[in-house]
Structure 1
Amino acid sequence: MENLHTASHENVVELKGIHKKYILKHALRGIDLTVQRGRIIGLLGPNGSGKSTLLKMMAGLVYPTSGSILVNGREPDVRNKQHVAYLPEIDHLYGWMTVKQTLAYISNFYTDWQEEKAASMLAAMELDGNQKVRNLSKGMRARLKLIAALSRNVPLVLLDEPFSGIDPSSRAKIIRLILQEFQSDEQTIVLSTHSVNESEPMFDEVIFLQQGRVRIFDTAENLRSEYGCSLEKIWEKVYG
């Protein structure tokens, strides 16, 4: 059986004609998208544009109504979930655990967990390992969630609104940590955010979603050159 860590798929994610329909909502409407290895990709769009649904699909948590998706060269299944790190927007941490207990608990689920890396990031994020999660500020909880995602040695990292509702200091620390820990030769990060101005320097490529469709997909450099302005200004022009 092929090892997903050593598989030489240049395309980490391939989506063709993807639709996702719920009872009352058509979340994705014909997504064609190829995500290559070694990129940090910004997934941008207003609320309801399909960002979270798309990330969950890449993570193997939801399945398309129609169309095809390949992650690391195969259709998403239980095995793929072991090779994708997914940070949801919702707070999924147990408040009664300490910071160290939380990381130890999460590490039990994954054979690719990197203990030394987790300890290093814990220090960099200035988190007290003995503090209860329920006593952490929202920004500190966001840092802890990010440590949990980045401590895994996986080819695909999916981050859903990691800056949501947190202070500028925590946002800056999180951005520095992502750039510091990004393994550009073997990893891809797809990051959904509304904090375009601060996160813009991270992005190699940018996807603008609108009403479940890809409105724009290009390199950040090409977009800034074409529009003659920052990604934040492009956001304002696209979504008006």
Structure 2
Amino acid sequence: MSTEVTENMIELSGVQKRYLLKAALTGIDLQIKKGSIVGLLGPNGSGKSTLLKILAGLIHPTSGAIRIAGRAPDASHKKQIAYLPEIDHLYGWMTVDETLRFIAGFYDDWQADKAAELLMTMDLDGRQKVRNLSKGMRARLKLIAALSRNVPLVLLDEPFSGIDPSSRAKIIRSIVSEFQTGEQTIILSTHSVSESEPMFDEVIFLHHGSVKLFDTADNLRSSYGCSLENIWEKVYA
């Protein structure tokens, strides 16, 4: 049995993904440390969702090597990853409580006490039908489902998409408060750069399926002399 120890949660080497004639990822090389919150930034079509789906094990790369927690991914890795997709996968006829109990049934690592705590933090009523929730409330419920699992890797694809500032603020506070420093790695794809950047340890800028920039948030702000939001404007001008 391997006893290899690595400080990296994720290692990608030459990862490419093609859909017929279209290249979604054109050769990704990355090393992401354990215990960090990583911002995954880029315009629509830059490859963010494709990269997260590959890391979640939902799709396979066309070529390249992937290592998660020091090992090549296999079926067991899915049990160590919480993935929140951009699409809404909730059942409208369920209540909030029924939704969480339904999701809990799929995972041995589910933390019911954390789910209950997050329900209060997110200001959701467990008796409400999902169909009656606003888009912001549904986004909060999806995040509860992801953060209630005790896993080393959390992948969040556009958790703020189309929701109001109040809900965005609640979600950001919950991500930061529930983050297990040193134990958990969170990769968060977002267009809400100005509100999200205070929580990022490292930042990846993708462009046309490749890494445009990758560094710590502090180093990027220091190098460019401006905020991450302003760096975005310069990178994608």
TM-score with structure 1 length normalisation? 0.96
Match 1:73 to one of 63, 70, 75: 70
Name the count of aligned residue pairs: 237
Q: Which residue of 1 aligns with 2:227?
A: 230
TM-score with structure 2 length normalisation? 0.97
CA contact (8 A) 2:115 2:145 kept: yes
Post-superposition Cα deviations, 1:92-142, rounded to whole Å, max 9, x if no partner, equal: 001111000000000111111001000000011110001000100000000
Give the C-alpha shift of residue 230 in structure 1.
0.3
Give the C-alpha shift of residue 77 in structure 1.
2.4
CA contact (8 A) 1:59 1:76 kept: no
Post-superposition Cα deviations, 1:160-212, rounded to whole Å, max 9, x if no partner, equal: 00000000000000000000000012000000000000001010000000000
Q: Which residue of 1 aligns with 2:8?
A: 11
In the alignment, is residue 106 of structure 1 matched against residue 106 of structure 2?
A: no
Give the C-alpha shift of residue 2 in structure 1.
8.1
For 1:106 and 1:33, locate their aligned partners in 2 and report how far apart those are by CA, in whole Å: 31
Q: Which residue of 2 aligns with 1:117?
A: 114
For 1:76 and 1:55, locate their aligned partners in 2 and report how far apart those are by CA, in whole Å: 14
For 2:95 and 2:21, locate their aligned partners in 1 and report how far apart those are by CA, in whole Å: 40
Give the C-alpha shift of residue 10 in structure 1.
1.6
Give the C-alpha shift of residue 8 in structure 1.
5.0
Q: Which residue of 1 aligns with 2:207?
A: 210
SS at match of 1:174: helix
Q: Which residue of 1 aligns with 2:52?
A: 55
For 2:99 and 2:154, locate their aligned partners in 1 and report how far apart those are by CA, in whole Å: 19
CA contact (8 A) 2:5 2:70 kept: no
After TM superposition, list the pairs within 5 Å mapping 1:190-205 onto structure 2: 190-205=187-202
Structure 1 stretches lacking a partner, 5+ long: none
In the alignment, is residue 29 of structure 1 matched against residue 26 of structure 2?
A: yes
After TM superposition, list the pairs within 5 Å mapping 1:32-181 onto structure 2: 32-181=29-178
Structure 2 stretches lacking a partner, 5+ long: none
For 1:43 and 1:53, locate their aligned partners in 2 and report how far apart those are by CA, in whole Å: 12
For 1:173 and 1:222, locate their aligned partners in 2 and report how far apart those are by CA, in whole Å: 27
CA contact (8 A) 1:43 1:190 kept: yes
The letter of the residue matching 2:183 is: E
For 2:155 and 2:13, locate their aligned partners in 1 and report how far apart those are by CA, in whole Å: 19
Give the C-alpha shift of residue 25 in structure 1.
1.4
Give the C-alpha shift of residue 72 in structure 1.
1.9
For 1:45 and 1:8, locate their aligned partners in 2 and report how far apart those are by CA, in whole Å: 32
CA contact (8 A) 1:205 1:218 kept: yes
Percent identical residues: 72
For 2:141 and 2:11, locate their aligned partners in 1 and report how far apart those are by CA, in whole Å: 30
